């Protein structure tokens, strides 16, 4: 009787644990999607309701409508995938995962081309006072991080804990573009660390739930959380240091020249 009770208790504990994990990943995906929605509400999602703001602060090129749709597709997929697993539809989750791999490739291509288009404008990146060739390190670094994390996630798709954390890291890297457009005055606050401002700090704070979840569920950090998180944080001052070098400016000028005007 004791053995049976223990078995039932263990099974109940496993169900509760998996239920909590599913809720965590769905909530995290929803938070990332909300961050993007908030940032791009006036220039993309709710553009018809903010025509003057969109004209003044939104990208003028038609290409960026495609860019926006592709990137929205990623965050929708990020929200749907853990929801499918929570609903027991692992088969559909895997099929959509194949679509996600193709979508990730499209995002790297679209994101890179979009960054080069913006850097080649006479006015540079929208609402960014930094010289465009220097600022180009930001979106291109994001694309490198995103592509690397997604590749590692796909290579480790048979290890769910590793796979899911890499997918979150890839999405956290992407969310910076949305965070940079949050309509809060404090986002312009300077910080004493070169290359890290309030925008970067807010992006880094998305790592905190990953750390907390690891400590609660594992009592230690998962290696992906530790090393992937450190890589994301370290990329911020490193891209700042790189942006002003002659080598980078020469490369950026050549890359921008590849995009027809």
Span 122-155, pLDDT tens digits: 999 999 989 999 999 999 999 999 999 999 999 9
Residues contacting residue 134 through CB under 8 Å, at least 6 positions apart: 243, 244, 248, 249, 252
Pick from 53, 71, 148: nearest CA to 114: 71
Query: What's the pLDDT score for residue 4?
Result: 54
Pick from 175, 169, 176: nearest CA to 197: 176
pLDDT digits (tens, 9 = 90+) for 189-235: 878 888 889 999 999 999 999 999 999 999 999 999 999 999 999 99
Q: What is the CA radius of gyration of the chain?
A: 20
State mean pLDDT over 45-71.
94
- Give yes or no for residue 67 having a pLDDT over 90: yes
Query: What's the pLDDT score for residue 85?
Result: 78
**SS3 state of residue 167:** helix
Phi, psi of 116 (to 5 degrees): -70, -35
Domain boundaries, the chain: 16-257
pLDDT digits (tens, 9 = 90+) for 1-13: 445 555 445 555 4
The predicted model scores a pTM of: 0.89
Q: How many CA atoms lie within 13 A of 221 on its CB side?
A: 13
State mean pLDDT over 160-171.
95
């Amino acid at each position: 009787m004791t053995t049976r009770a223990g078995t039932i208790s263990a099974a109940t504990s496993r169900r509760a644990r998996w239920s909590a994990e599913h809720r965590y990943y769905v909530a995290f995906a929803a938070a990332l999607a909300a961050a993007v929605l908030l940032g791009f509400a006036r220039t993309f999602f709710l553009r018809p309701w903010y025509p003057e703001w969109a004209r003044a602060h939104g990208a003028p090129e038609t290409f960026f409508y495609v860019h926006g749709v592709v990137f929205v597709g990623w965050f929708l997929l990020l929200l749907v995938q853990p929801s499918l697993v929570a609903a027991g539809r692992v088969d559909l989750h895997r099929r959509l995962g194949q679509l996600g791999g193709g979508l990730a490739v499209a995002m790297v291509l679209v994101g890179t081309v979009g960054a080069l288009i913006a850097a080649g404008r006479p006015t540079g990146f929208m609402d960014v006072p930094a010289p465009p060739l220097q600022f180009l390190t930001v979106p291109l670094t994001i694309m490198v991080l995103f592509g690397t994390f997604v590749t590692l996630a796909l290579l480790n798709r048979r290890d769910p804990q590793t796979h899911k954390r890499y997918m979150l890291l890839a999405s956290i890297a992407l969310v910076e573009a949305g965070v940079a457009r949050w309509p809060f005055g404090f986002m312009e606050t300077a910080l004493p660390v070169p290359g890290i401002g309030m925008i970067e700090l807010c992006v880094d704070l998305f790592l905190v739930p990953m750390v907390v979840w690891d400590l609660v569920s594992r009592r230690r950090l998962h290696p992906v959380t530790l090393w992937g998180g450190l890589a994301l944080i370290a990329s911020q001052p490193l891209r700042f240091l790189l942006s002003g070098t002659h080598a980078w400016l020469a490369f950026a000028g050549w890359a921008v020249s590849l995009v027809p005007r």
